Amino acid sequence: MNITVSEIRKRYLEFFKKRGHVIIPSASLVPENDPTTLFTGSGMQPLLPYLLGAPHPEGKRIADSQKSFRAEDIDEVGDNRHTTFFEMLGNWSFGDYFKEEQLTWVFEFLTDKAEGAGLNPANLYVTVFAGDKETGIPRDEASVEIWKKLFGEKGIEADYLELGSTEEGSEKGMRGGRIFSYDVKKNWWSRSGIPANMPLGEPGGPDSEIFYDFDPSGKTHKKEFGKECHPNCDCGRFLEIGNSVFMEYKKKENGSFEKLAQRNVDFGGGLERITAAANHNPDIFSIDVFEPILKYLPSNLPIRNKRIIADHTRAMVFLIADGVRPSNKGAGYVLRRLMRRAMIYEYMTSDPDLNLISVIAEIVRKYRDAYPDLQEETIIPVYDDENKKFLAAFKNGLKEFDKLIEKGGISGKDIFNLFSTYGLPYESAFEFAKERAGIEINKDEFQKEMERHRELSRTASAGAFKGGLADHSEKTTRLHTAHHLLLKALQIVLGTHVKQRGSNITSERLRMDFSHDAKMTEEQKKEVERIVNEKIRENLPVLRNEMSREEAERLYAEHEFGQKYPDRVSVYSIGPKGATLENPQFERAFSIEFCGGPHVTHTGEIGDFRILKEEASAAGVRRIKAIIE
Ligand code: SER
């Protein structure tokens, strides 16, 4: 008998309750008072204030199972491991216990047969933080020692091996190791990723991940995933099932870190993944919550399509229950995309009896014990309404599609036209062409048409202001450099979600549009001004470098959302002090942007910077006007 999601959730919460934790209910998928993100994507988001030191009303030890949604994974769904919605099991120490208790308990929970997930410890592999020169944060030696001891107690000799990056991992391989260290890209956790991307004041820390080995024989590994297999390899042998973050640092202004007032633990375990591991089946969709859905879908449907319908329908159920409604912006847009994709896949089955309403009902039934507030009566009308609206337009697009097929074929360019005129989703159109008419669409042609279209609309806007600059006068150039400082200062103050969405600079003033959901407070504006003026006073060098687009992307150089760039790009970096063309020290730069210039050579030439106005520009986009004096 396979263990159920419900049973694992129950055991986990019980386990931590016995160890002094108070169980709290899941927060909504729609974050409250958090303009930095559309959805709750991890257990820590709703608990941020307590990691920063506010006292939690339930005390210092908390456990929960948090509903989470990651829109960035929509396109990955279809394989055996990705879902958009998932539950994250979490236990929290707000300045209470630390590494020793955390790793011991999590290991005990995962391996205990009666009260935990009952995993065989021989199938578990762990990773720790390798240390980071940039920030000076050292390797997590303590966790290495704790893991050695824990595996030792199970009779497993656990060797430690330094791997560094994923690339090094696939070069070196595992060589009999059990504990591996990786760099900031893999074993550092913050809401905004690696230390360099964290805004001022953001908490983060080294983490220790646990992987389940579905295939000790190693046969799953294929060379296309890298020379050798290792825990972070994507071949499918290993699945990350849990992550203990030792959140004890906070970003300071010059890119360095200081200790938070308290040492925290943030553990996140993938409920569905742990359940799959407990059943030793690498297919997430084999767990009980998906089983009735997959069974209900026609058996001749390709497995990928079944998984997409199952995932998207489950996600829409939870999103709608938390108040999201399909719309053309923000969270509503993501929901709409998800719903329409599921509807198209349903439509494609050509089974008149298939109805996602029944799938919705199955899901609600499966989750009723843990989420009694899931109501079919709320969810189904929302689904019904969207389905009617969408299918009408979609069918018109399909008629055009069929006409083209009858006329003798359909090209990548035609698909682009159907997409831009009827909103026929192009990904589905490719699949339709293949499944209904046996035609393989030339995707390059489609892509070219898409790019031509983008190019046309860009040329139209660039004609008005070359590179956003009205002229190359001295004042305009000074404002242009101030513009770069401003973008970075906004990211530091408001968060890394801030991206440039448009710019326009004359010799009088600069104007920048950027993504952000809320009106800036007076304090935020003051702080942005202060940072920009501070960087001006530091008289930082401004450098222009040419490099490949990939290299610029690796440096996380800023670029405007939606812009296409050539293979070689020009990049401007500002700071640090002492940076030269021979030694540009990009890692320590204050700002790096894809940019054609021109700029001043030192920030001291800019003058005093002042924000004139901050206002709404479009949905989720704000506009700043600023001058130099
Ligand atoms: N915050 C960490 C994560 O999302 C652990 O909960 O992986």
Which of 26, 39, 44, 45 for mutating ligand 1's site (highest number of atoms within 8 Å of CB)? 44
Q: Which atom of ligand 1 is nearest to the CA of 42?
A: 4
- pLDDT surpassing 90 at residue 624: yes
Tell me the C-alpha distance between 289 and 365, whole Å. Answer: 9
| Ligand 1 center–CA 44 separation, angstroms | 7
Q: Tell me if 192 CB under 6 Å of ligand 1.
A: no
Mean pLDDT of 194-223: 93
Quote the pLDDT of residue 21.
Answer: 98
Q: Which of 85-89, 254-258, 415-419 is least confident? A: 415-419
For residue 389, the model assigns a pLDDT of: 85
Q: Read off the pLDDT band of 268 (50, 70, 90).
A: very high
Ligand 1 geometric centre to CA of 58 (Å): 21
pLDDT, position 423: 64
Q: How far is CA 511 from CA 482, 486, 567, in A?
A: 11, 10, 28
State the residue for tokens 């009666």: 114
Which residue is closest in CA terms to ligand 1's atom 4? 42
| Beta partners for residue 594, in sequence order | 571
| Ligand 1 geometric centre to CA of 26 (Å) | 15
Average pLDDT over residues 58-76: 92
- Determine what percent of the chain is predicted with pLDDT higher than 70: 94
CA 592 from centre of chain? 22
Q: What is the pLDDT of residue 391?
A: 82
Tell me how far apart the alpha carbons of residues 282 and 173 are, in angstroms, rounded to a whole number: 21
* Ligand 1 atom at shortest distance from the alpha carbon of 244: 5
- On average, the pLDDT of the chain sits at 89
Q: Residue 422 — pLDDT band, cuts 50, 70, 90?
A: low
User: What phi, psi does 422 have (nearest 5°)?
Assistant: -110, -5
Quick one: average pLDDT of 52-58? 91
The structure's pTM equals: 0.71
pLDDT in tens, 295-336: 889 888 889 989 999 999 999 999 999 999 998 778 898 899
Q: Does residue 427 have a pLDDT over 80?
A: no
Ligand 1 pocket mutation, candidates 12, 48, 266, 274, criterion most atoms within 8 A of CB: 266
472-511 pLDDT, tens digit per residue, is 678 888 999 999 999 999 999 998 889 888 888 888 899 9
Asked whether the beta carbons of 208 and 126 are under 8 A apart, the reply is yes
Query: Looking at residue 395, what is its pLDDT?
Result: 81
Half-sphere exposure of 111 (CA within 13 A, CB side): 18
End-to-end alpha carbon distance in the chain = 74
137 lines ligand 1 (CB under 6 A): no
CA–centroid distance, 324 to ligand 1, in Å, is 24
pLDDT for the residue 7: 97
Residue 206 in contact with ligand 1 by CB distance below 6 A: no
Helix (H) or strand (E) holding 274: helix 271-278
Tell me the CA–centroid distance for residue 531 and ligand 1, in Å: 31
Torsions phi, psi of 262, nearest 5?
-135, 155
Rounded to 5°, the CA angle 205-207-213 comes to 165
The residue whose CA has the least distance to atom 5 of ligand 1 is 268
**Which atom in ligand 1 lies closest to the alpha carbon of residue 41?**
4
Phi then psi for residue 114, to 5 deg, are -85, -40
508 CA distance to ligand 1 middle (Å): 46
Compute the distance between CA of residue 374 and CA of residue 379 in angstroms, rounded to an integer: 8
Q: Which range, of 111-125, 229-243, 340-354, averages the lowest pLDDT? A: 340-354
Q: Note the pLDDT of residue 467.
A: 45
What pairs with residue 66 in β-bridges?
88
**Closest C-alpha to ligand 1, atom 2:** 268
| Higher-pLDDT residue of 449, 104 | 104
Which tens digit of pLDDT belongs to each residue from 547-599? 877 788 878 888 776 666 777 778 899 998 888 887 888 888 999 998 877 88
Which run of H or of E encompasses 303?
Answer: helix 303-321
CA 371 to chain centre: 25
- In order, the DSSP letters of 431-488 are HHHHHHH-----HHHHHHHHHHHHHHHHHHHHHHSBTTBS---HHHHHHHHHHHHHHH
User: Closest residue (by CA) to atom 6 of ligand 1?
Assistant: 268
pLDDT given at position 587: 80
pLDDT band for 406, please (50, 70, 90 cuts): confident
Q: Is the C-beta atom of 243 inside 6 A of ligand 1?
A: yes
> How many other C-beta atoms are found inside a 10 Å radius of the C-beta of residue 448?
14
Tokens describing residue 51:
């990691």
468 has a pLDDT exceeding 60: no
Burial of 401 (0-12, 13-18, 19+ CB in 10 A): buried
Cβ(359)–Cβ(65) under 8 Å?
Answer: no
pLDDT tier for residue 471 given thresholds of 50, 70 and 90: low
Which is more confident, 31 or 216?
A: 216
By percentage, how much of the chain surpasses pLDDT 90?
61
Ligand 1 centroid to Cα of residue 238, in Å, is 18
Picking from 273, 341, 279, 353, the residue whose alpha carbon sits closest to that of residue 310 is 341
The residue ranking higher by pLDDT, 370 or 146, is 146
- Which residue from 189, 193, 196, 213 is spatially nearest to 268, judged by alpha carbons? 189
* Exposure class string for 236-266: b at 16+ Cβ within 10 A, else e: bbbbbbbbbbbbbbbbeeebebeebebbbbb
CA of 306 to the centre of ligand 1 (A): 28
- Does the structure show a pLDDT above 60 at 132? yes
Q: For residue 435, is pLDDT > 90? A: no
Q: Return all residues near 112 (Cβ < 8 A) that are at least 6 apart.
A: 15, 118
The mean per-residue pLDDT over the stretch 360-386 comes to 93
Residue 36 has pLDDT above 70, yes or no: no
φ and ψ at residue 216, rounded to 5 degrees: -55, -20
Question: Measured on CA atoms in the order 437, 442, 445, 449, is the torsion positive or negative?
Answer: positive
Residue recorded with tokens 């913050």: 190
268 lines ligand 1 (CB under 6 A): yes
Residue 103's pLDDT is what?
Answer: 98
pLDDT (tens digit per residue) in 6-17: 999 999 999 999
**What separation in angstroms does the CA of 553 have from each of 76, 549, 568, 586, 589?**
22, 6, 11, 12, 15
CA atoms within 13 A on the CB side of 460: 6
